[in-house]
Structure 1
Amino acid sequence: MRLGSSGTRPAGTPAQPPLGTALGVVAGSGRPGPSRIAAPVGDTVLDVASLAVAEHGPHAALLQQPNLDGLLAAGRAVWREVVGWLAERLADPDRLSGHLLPATGVVPVLPFTVADYVDFFACEQHAVNAGKIYRPRGEPLAPNWRHLPVGYHGRAGTVVVSGTPVARPAGQRGPGDMGPSGALDVEAEIGYVLGSSRGAAAEPVPLEDALDHVFGVVLLNDWSARDIQAWESRPLGPLLGKSFATSISAWVTPLDELAAAWIDPPPRDPPPLPYLLGPTDRGLDLTLEIWLNGELVSSPPAADLYWTPAQLIAHLTSNGAPLRAGDLLGSGTVSGARREQRGCFLELAWNGAEPVGLADGSARSYLLDGDEVVITATAPAVGGGRLSLGEVQGKILPAR
């Protein structure tokens, strides 16, 4: 097991560039005491709490907690101090001696308590493709789509850490038709992990302050049962087709680690309303990859996401809805203009009309039991080169 990722990588999946400074939580027989805040270091992990105590590091009490909840609640000034201190230590491996945990018996666990989970629909290419599939004789985009970030509330209690197996869900697939999903899909997404820098005031967050609430980024797989989703979604949207599991990477990449990845958003027509415009309206230039059983099937680019992280937060809070430390916002499926850049099998196989051929001679329209999906991503690194985000992995089990 390569702890720099989050689980066993399917055969054939190549190694990624090294992770930069990232934080997560590990448990298991290979660590002392309860779950520990940790950082990936090659094939092992650093016991961040132990190092902080030994070196009288900043905010050591927060780093001794069993998860990242306290750190998320502390706000951006504390985050920058802790992440800066940790980055300096990771750059000097000699200082880590005695604080590295053995790989054997150490497993990543969910790094924070998910407070609320909201999934958005921020990618125009994905929205257009989905509209063409489901409404072939109508306009692919709803009239509101280019005016506001469309999203829905998900179930925080079904967010799981990378490596957690996913059982095929059951639900209504049509009139009088109840059973296991026959159209189980992935959605390659970016997840924004929120903290608090000014408390949970029930007031709008201005766009210029929105990124102060983002601690970092995870990769997110919004597993989707397309047949259940298609039958249930009108008029209020998905429920059982989405609520059975959402996987996130074990390692959270702090936003400051992605300082070299910021890019301008794509052109928009019509221009967003003033509350969605400002200097923090910028996207992240991440390149995602979807691996099925060790074979690369897609490379979705996040650079063209229509709605940016700051806009998601400004819109979410524009009615006075408060933020909480541990809130998780999904970008929605990331897709590009070419087929090999589509971020889910709904698009890759065009809802079964164009199955994806695999190297072993088989094909996929949707996932089969036993399939293992790994989503990876890289970003420009500060100082040059690229860094990896923690991957998200899951294997499909038969319906219960």
Structure 2
Amino acid sequence: METQNPLQIQELIDLCITFLCGPRSWQDLLSCALVARSWVAPAQASLFHTPHVTNHRFMKIDRLALLFCETITAYPFLASYVRELNIVEYFYLQRAAIGKICSTTFPRLECLSINLSRISIWEGELSSLVTLKTLRYLQLDANEGFPVISSFVSRFTPTIEHLDLRCRQWDGILVDTSVPPIKITSLRLEVQLWNAPPQRLDIGLLYPFEISQLRALEVVDAGSLVWDSIPDRTRQTIKILQLDLKSEPIDLSRFPHLILLRVVLPEDDVSVLVRTLKTITSEHCLETLIIWTGFCEPAPEECKELDITLSSLPLDPFPKIQMESSVIRPRREQDLRDMFPKLVSQNKFIMSHFRRWNIEDGIRKVGRRFMYT
């Protein structure tokens, strides 16, 4: 029986390519494309899966962005491998370069991230991307008020399901109501106001994005959101909630169908988290509770109160409690167990993970397990 060349076995090829995939693996993938003819397409598919179109004089990645522009123009078939596209401007990105990218047809593009200082001046070029019928995830980082880019927003494809909205100003998305609504299933909100009076986010001003079928919600600085602006119907559909608590507790009893809850341990006042957790009732069906400890060093008495609150959650079955800490400043598992002796003594499982939370993907990756089952 003739033995098959291992370089031709598709399963082995896929394993090798998957093993090498990573943020800095492009040189390895280029080498893989030279191994054998059968390796070319899989290596190219991984190499062009998530290109970053950026320009930063302190980073070497700008050379890769220019090389990508030239390559995708010379070989348009490579655009069919692109699933995620990140367009980021740090200082000045030439209009000709971004024009080449936007004029290229990406038949399978699913995720698009746009971070430009003035989105309104790029509206014409970007329109060909935001109107793609294959687009499902959109991250929009805007330095401008939304009325300025309202015409741009009104062009968005109705196939968008996941919205990651980051802004420096908050005045709502004011779009002509004749524009068909876009029903999204997950939403991430982050507002960092510069030189502006304190403002609060009103989800009711998100038109044309409709949240009646929202399954996952992430709010960076939960105190900036007007929680009463979330309709009761939407509270009933939310299954995944991620909160960065600052100064005010959140009433979780208004979200009775939560499956996964992730909270960031407050740096200044842990009691905010304790008061939030105390709103969990026996009616909840919470399966996983994640607490990101980060760089916070809570006082012993605060840890004790949090430990008592967690161990007495009125849930049956008891949820899986998962602690996460920063990879920059990781905590030992034993240290985390020492912080919660009551949970440990009651044999209520604590699973410690020392990993970097992919905050850019946010709910999109965490919620995928629950969103499509």
TM-score normalised according to structure 1 size: 0.25
Return the structure number with greater helix share. 2
Larger relative contact order (CA 8 Å, sep ≥ 6): 1
Return the structure number with greater strand share. 1
TM-score normalised according to structure 2 size: 0.27
